[in-house]
């Protein structure tokens, strides 16, 4: 069985998530980690903190013949970087969302198929024990037939990355693929993971606060799935206290997950009893990212199937973009995409 040290890894983008992936790759035993970033300060930080080889120009990195590329750059350049990497024969880990538009994704699909590449798009919330437990309970019928799901996440954007001007981050800038709908696509993704394919979307999105961004900072999204269940998803950059919760409503019970209380609570109407599922002892948020990379490594080895490859990630992106179109037009939007 191979391990992380059997590959040459290239991390494209050395912001906070890129640095996290570098740390985690090293923790998993990778000893050939390369990095690229056009910013001098980020290159120097990575070089000094992690002692990995860092490149100012991406062409220099390709000369090192990496086998796996981790794309952690702003959303607007995910696709061009992924295409470059795929054309160099690299397996792909792409941070969510896979892109900021569906345009051009067919080219990436063609490269992936032609070169037989393994792909995974960042879906770390699927590796959160609370989200995974909630999905297990749904699958076991703990709540009976699920009729609706309410999911929400919010945090004050200026507090996300202390020491960094939030106005310059990709989250705040339309040109970089920012905005809370794409940035917080995890909620759209895991609701779809719970309930299945989405067929109809209606949404209100907008810049409602005084934070200095040129993108939507608040979104309220309604989704109807092919099963008939309805999901309500709230996303914002405004809440001054970080909040992330999910409620599943079924005919025979309810399931409640709260990121901050670190537990899932399940009420069964059949027994009129509550059951609590706490996070594993000592669990911390970085474990999601470690587990995600371990899963990707298992996929590279053929031991597991990608939790979300580029094809499924395009389906999730289509739902998010449908929400933006609905808000722009004032009409509900049919989701038809299927790969």
Given a cut of 70, the residues of the chain with pLDDT beneath it are 1-2, 337-339
Q: Which residues contact 252 (CB under 8 A, 6 or more apart)?
A: 141, 142, 143, 144, 145, 268, 269, 270
Pick 4-123+291-306's CATH classification: 3.40.228.10, 3.30.2270.10, 3.30.870.10, 3.40.50.720.
3.40.50.720
Write down the pLDDT at residue 3: 81
**pLDDT 10s digits, 59-100:** 999 999 999 999 999 999 999 999 999 999 999 999 999 999
Write down the pLDDT at residue 2: 63
Q: Does the model's pTM come out above 0.75?
A: yes
Write down the pLDDT at residue 162: 85
Q: In the chain, where does the domain assigned CATH 3.40.50.720 lie?
A: 4-123+291-306
Write down the pLDDT at residue 337: 59
Write down the pLDDT at residue 246: 98
Q: In the chain, where does the domain assigned CATH 3.30.360.10 lie?
A: 125-281+315-334
Write down the pLDDT at residue 272: 98
Write down the pLDDT at residue 161: 83
CATH code at 125-281+315-334: 3.30.360.10
């Amino acid at each position: 069985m191979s391990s992380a040290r059997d590959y040459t890894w290239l991390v494209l983008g050395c912001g906070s998530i890129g640095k996290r992936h570098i740390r985690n790759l090293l923790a998993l035993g990778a000893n050939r980690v390369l990095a690229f970033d056009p910013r001098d300060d980020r290159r120097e930080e990575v070089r000094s903190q992690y002692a990995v080889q860092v490149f100012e120009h991406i062409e220099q990195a390709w000369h090192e013949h990496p086998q796996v590329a981790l794309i952690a750059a702003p959303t607007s350049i995910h696709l061009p970087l992924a295409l470059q990497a795929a054309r160099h024969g690299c397996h792909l880990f792409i941070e969510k969302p896979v892109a900021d538009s569906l345009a051009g994704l067919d080219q990436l699909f063609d490269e992936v198929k032609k070169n037989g590449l393994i792909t995974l798009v960042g879906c770390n919330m699927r590796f959160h024990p609370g989200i995974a437990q909630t999905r297990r309970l749904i699958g076991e019928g703990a709540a009976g037939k699920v009729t609706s799901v309410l999911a929400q996440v919010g945090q004050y954007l200026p507090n996300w990355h202390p020491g960094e001007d939030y106005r310059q981050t990709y989250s705040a800038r339309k040109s970089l693929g920012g905005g809370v709908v794409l940035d917080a696509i995890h909620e759209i993704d895991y609701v779809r993971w719970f309930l299945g394919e989405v067929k109809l979307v209606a949404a209100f999105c907008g810049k409602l606060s005084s934070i200095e961004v040129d993108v939507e900072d608040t979104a309220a999204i309604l989704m109807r799935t092919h099963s008939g269940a309805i999901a309500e998803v709230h996303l914002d950059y405004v809440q001054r206290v970080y909040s992330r919760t999910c409620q599943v409503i079924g005919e025979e019970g309810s399931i409640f997950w709260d990121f901050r209380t670190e537990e899932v609570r399940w009420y069964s109407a059949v027994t009129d009893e509550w059951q609590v599922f706490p996070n594993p002892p000592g669990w911390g948020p970085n474990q999601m990212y470690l587990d995600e990379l371990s899963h990707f490594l298992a996929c590279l080895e053929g031991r597991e199937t990608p939790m979300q490859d580029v094809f499924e990630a395009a389906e999730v992106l289509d739902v998010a973009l449908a929400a933006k179109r609905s808000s722009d037009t004032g009409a509900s939007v049919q989701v038809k995409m299927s790969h």
